């Protein structure tokens, strides 16, 4: 039997029901019952309905007779459920069989329900209606689940995109100022260099460091320091073109990349960049209105020009950094162009630092000792420990050459610790020799070393470890130390003085001498600088200076050492005429190695 003809105008949105039965009267009855509410299509055998379904036309419900010649309903259902394309088609079996086995078999095959023959119209309508309702609910549930899954996937993709953006943001942007950070800066600098190579135009890198930024952080807190950095970033962005890059390296360091400088010569490009650098210095030098007060800030700027990719981006940044430190050394609030001499100096500094580190690691340093002479008896009563560097290829390196490098790099701290430890070892050994047990040993301590937070504790620990007598140890300090936190310095000196250590003020009169701090410091001794001693025979001014220092020390109840004594006349004037307590200089001995110094006492003992 062919499907019943229906036009699209009848009910295009009505549910479609397929009815399969080998008895025509059953089909007529089903169509008569269902046609008012549904679109009904009828078939008299299983193969016919399978062919229809194979065309891709999936109905809403299949009413399937169980007992049919050839292919029964169970077989038809089995084939439908085996086909993934139509396996979800709801099936209601039509049967005259009234056995539990038949219903169980049908349900096991995947049927939704059974309608028994002879048909009861109300039952037929109810079961079809209920099945469609259940499937509509299930369909809506599935659609909702699909929509929820789609929304969940969209949300997941959105969150993933946000996470990727956040990772990118963290990787390439400074979180405080929102400026590019170092990795993104290097990428943009390399791009600018490549563009310069293609266009033959110049570019420039400006390295900026804020002057005295630490003062703001220390006095007004990091919150206001951060606010200042944000304000600086905003001013830099406004001071350059949109095509230029402003980045923050960290701390108070910023970098500006200027691109596309359309000048024919390096000199012309430098003039143009100079104008921009001057503008930046001026803009950053204006006051900043911060919550606590108005803050005045300035910047040190280093500038280097580039054309093409002759050197690496990292080396360009190094050049700008060298120039920036030159500006800072000149007092700040200025800009400096890089030149090759800076690179030569930087390389020398790097080599010196590497050599110093090797010298510390390999034990290339040693202590020399210059005798300290009693002004009246001319006997040796002590010595000053002086560091010497015996370089494996250069020989003896002057302290005047390597001490500034040690100060600059911070290596003065481990170097100073080595001096203290070694000097105390020798002092402890001398205490075992009767002829040397009363010697006082002086060691020089730099301002940076003494200002270290743990200096006093470290000194006490060395004394405990070596067994050296603190009453035989003198620490020599220079006046530059007292430009720091005076109260902290006095506290550290007092802590060490309580253990028996004494203090001398070295090179007195050459620094920022102040009678007010002389009276407050726990000093025992002043040392007259060699520059005053050397001029005693040449002029009255130095005679007056030396006499005044000795008189001042006597009034403050301090001992006096004159260093740099080279002639008998100088020694006579200082010790005999003005009663200087102690003398030190080449007239008595140059600085000598430990064994030679100890030999002075052996010879003396043998000649008694």
116-128 pLDDT, tens digit each: 999 999 999 999 9
* Residue 218: per-residue pLDDT: 81
User: Which residue did the predictor score with more confidence, 585 or 293?
Assistant: 585
* H helix or E strand, kind and range, residue 385: strand 380-391
0.75 exceeded by pTM: no
Phi, psi of 16 (to 5 degrees): -100, 130
**Helices and strands, number each (H, E), in the chain:** 21, 22
Determine the pLDDT at residue 12: 54
Sequence-ordered strand ranges (E) for 392-462: 395-397, 440-444
The whole-number pLDDT of residue 3 equals 45
Q: Which of 545, 498, 497, 543 is nearest to 523 (CA)?
A: 497
Q: Which residues of 208-244 are buried (b: 16+ CB within 10 A; e: fewer)?
A: bbbbebeebbeebeeebbebbbebbbebbbebbeeeb
Q: What percent of the chain has pLDDT over 90?
A: 58
In this prediction, residue 8 carries a pLDDT of: 44
pLDDT at position 365: 95
The tens digit of pLDDT for each residue in 435-450 reads 999 999 999 999 899 9
CB-count exposure of residue 557 (10 Å: 0-12, 13-18, 19+)? exposed
Structure confidence at residue 5 as a pLDDT band (50, 70, 90):
very low
Q: How confident is the model at residue 364 (pLDDT cuts 50, 70, 90)?
A: very high
Q: Does 187 score more than 90 pLDDT?
A: yes
Mean pLDDT lowest among 36-45, 159-168, 465-474: 159-168
Quick: pLDDT tens for 36-74. 999 999 999 999 999 999 988 889 999 999 999 989 999
Residue 19 has pLDDT above 50, yes or no: yes
Residue-wise pLDDT for 311-336, tens only, equals: 899 999 999 999 999 999 888 999 99
User: Is the peptide bond prior to 62 cis by the omega test (within 30 degrees of 0)?
Assistant: no
Residue 381 has what pLDDT? 95
What's the pLDDT at 539?
67
Decide if pLDDT at 310 tops 90.
no
Nearest partner of 127 among 91, 181, 170, judged by Cα: 91
Q: Mean pLDDT score of the chain, rounded to an integer?
A: 88
Band (77; pLDDT cuts 50, 70, 90): very high
Contacts of residue 545, defined as CB under 8 A and 6 or more positions apart, other chains included, come to 509, 532
| Nearest alpha-carbon partner for 411 in 351, 356, 468, 336 | 356
Element (H, E) at 306: strand 298-306
Give the span between the Cα atoms of 429 and 467, in whole angstroms.
9
Tell me the domain boundaries of the chain.
Answer: 16-142, 182-338, 363-606
What single DSSP character describes residue 61? E
Q: For 69-207, where are the alpha helices, taking DSSP H only?
A: 73-82, 100-109, 121-172, 182-199
In contact, 13 and 30? CB cutoff 8 Å? no
Q: What's the pLDDT tens digit per position in 219-275?
A: 888 899 999 999 999 999 999 999 999 999 989 999 999 998 876 788 888 889 999
User: What is the structure's pLDDT at 607?
Assistant: 45
pLDDT digits (tens, 9 = 90+) for 408-442: 889 999 999 999 999 999 999 999 999 999 999 99
Helix, strand, or coil here: 172?
helix
Correct CATH for 16-142 of 3.40.50.2300, 3.40.50.10320, 3.30.470.10, 3.60.15.10: 3.40.50.2300
- The predicted pLDDT at position 222 comes to 87
DSSP letter, residue 111? -
Note the Cα 192 to chain centre separation in Å. 25
Report the DSSP pairing between strands 288-289 and 253-261. Answer: unpaired
Q: How far is CA 426 from CA 69, 368, 432, 589, 594, in A?
A: 120, 11, 10, 19, 9
Res 10: pLDDT: 44
Closest to 443 measured CA to CA, from 411, 409, 415? 415
Q: Find, among 258, 245, 276, the residue nearest to 182 by Cα.
A: 245
Q: Any idea which fold 182-338 has?
A: Alpha-Beta Plaits (3.30.70)
Element (H, E) at 30: helix 24-34
Whether 578 has a pLDDT exceeding 80, the answer reads: yes
- Domain with residues 363-606, CATH architecture: Alpha-Beta Barrel (3.20)
SS3 258: strand
Q: Which residues of 316-339 are buried (b: 16+ CB within 10 A; e: fewer)?
A: bbbbbbbbbbbbbeeebbbbbbbe
Contact 117, 94 (CB under 8 A): yes
């Amino acid at each position: 039997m062919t499907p019943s003809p229906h036009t699209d105008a009848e009910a295009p949105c009505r549910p479609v029901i397929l009815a399969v039965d080998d008895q025509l009267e059953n089909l007529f009855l089903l169509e008569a019952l269902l046609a008012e509410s549904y679109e009904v299509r009828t078939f008299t055998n299983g193969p016919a309905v399978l062919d229809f379904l194979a065309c891709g036309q999936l109905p809403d419900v299949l009413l399937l007779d169980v007992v049919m010649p050839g292919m029964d309903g169970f077989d038809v259902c089995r084939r439908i459920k085996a086909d993934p394309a139509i396996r979800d088609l709801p099936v209601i079996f039509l049967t005259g069989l009234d056995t539990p086995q038949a219903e169980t078999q049908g349900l096991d095959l995947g049927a939704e329900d059974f309608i028994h023959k002879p048909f009861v119209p109300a039952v037929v309508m109810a079961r079809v209606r209920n099945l469609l309702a259940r499937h509509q609910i299930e369909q809506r549930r599935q659609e909702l689940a699909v929509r929820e899954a789609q929304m969940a996937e969209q949300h997941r993709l959105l969150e993933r995109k946000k996470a990727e953006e956040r990772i990118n943001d963290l990787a390439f942007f400074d979180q405080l100022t929102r400026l590019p950070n170092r990795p993104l800066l290097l990428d943009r600098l390399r791009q600018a260099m490549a563009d310069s190579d293609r266009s033959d135009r110049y570019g420039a890198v400006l390295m900026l460091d804020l002057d005295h930024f630490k003062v703001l952080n220390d006095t007004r807190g990091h919150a206001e320091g951060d606010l200042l950095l944000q304000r600086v970033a905003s001013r830099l962005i406004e001071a350059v073109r949109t095509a230029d890059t402003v980045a923050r390296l960290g701390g108070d360091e910023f970098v500006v990349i200027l691109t596309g400088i359309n000048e024919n010569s390096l000199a012309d490009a430098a003039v143009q960049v100079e104008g921009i650098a001057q503008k930046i210095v001026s803009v950053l030098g204006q006051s900043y209105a911060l919550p606590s007060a108005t803050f005045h800030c300035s910047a040190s700027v280093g500038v280097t020009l580039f054309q093409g990719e002759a050197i690496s981006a990292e080396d360009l940044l190094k050049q700008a950094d060298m120039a920036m430190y030159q500006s800072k050394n000149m007092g700040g609030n200025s800009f400096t162009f890089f030149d090759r001499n800076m690179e030569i100096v930087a390389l020398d500094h790097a080599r010196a630092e590497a050599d110093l580190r090797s010298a510390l690691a390999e034990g290339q340093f040693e202590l020399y000792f210059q005798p300290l002479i009693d002004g009246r008896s001319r006997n040796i009563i002590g010595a000053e420990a002086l560091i010497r560097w015996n370089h494996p290829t250069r020989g003896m390196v002057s302290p005047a050459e390597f001490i500034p490098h040690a100060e600059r790099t911070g290596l003065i701290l481990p170097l100073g610790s080595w001096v203290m430890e070694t000097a105390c070892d020798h002092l402890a050994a001398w205490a075992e020799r009767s002829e040397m047990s009363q010697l006082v040993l002086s060691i020089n301590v730099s301002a940076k070393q003494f200002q270290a937070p743990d200096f006093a504790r470290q000194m006490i620990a060395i004394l405990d470890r070596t067994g050296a007598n603190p009453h035989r140890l003198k620490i020599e300090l220079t006046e530059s130390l007292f430009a720091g936190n005076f109260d902290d310095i006095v506290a550290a000196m007092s802590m060490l003085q309580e253990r028996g250590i004494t203090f001398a003020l070295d090179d007195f009169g050459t620094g920022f001498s102040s009678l007010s701090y002389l009276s407050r410091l726990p000093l025992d001794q002043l040392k007259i600088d060699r520059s005053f001693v050397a001029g005693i025979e040449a002029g009255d001014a130095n005679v007056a200076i030396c006499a005044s220092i000795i008189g001042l020390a006597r009034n403050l109840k301090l001992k006096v050492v004159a260093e740099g004594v080279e002639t008998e006349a100088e020694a006579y004037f200082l010790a005999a005429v003005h009663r200087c307590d102690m003398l030190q200089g080449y007239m008595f001995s140059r600085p000598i190695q430990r064994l030679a110094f100890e030999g002075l006492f052996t010879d003396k003992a043998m000649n008694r």
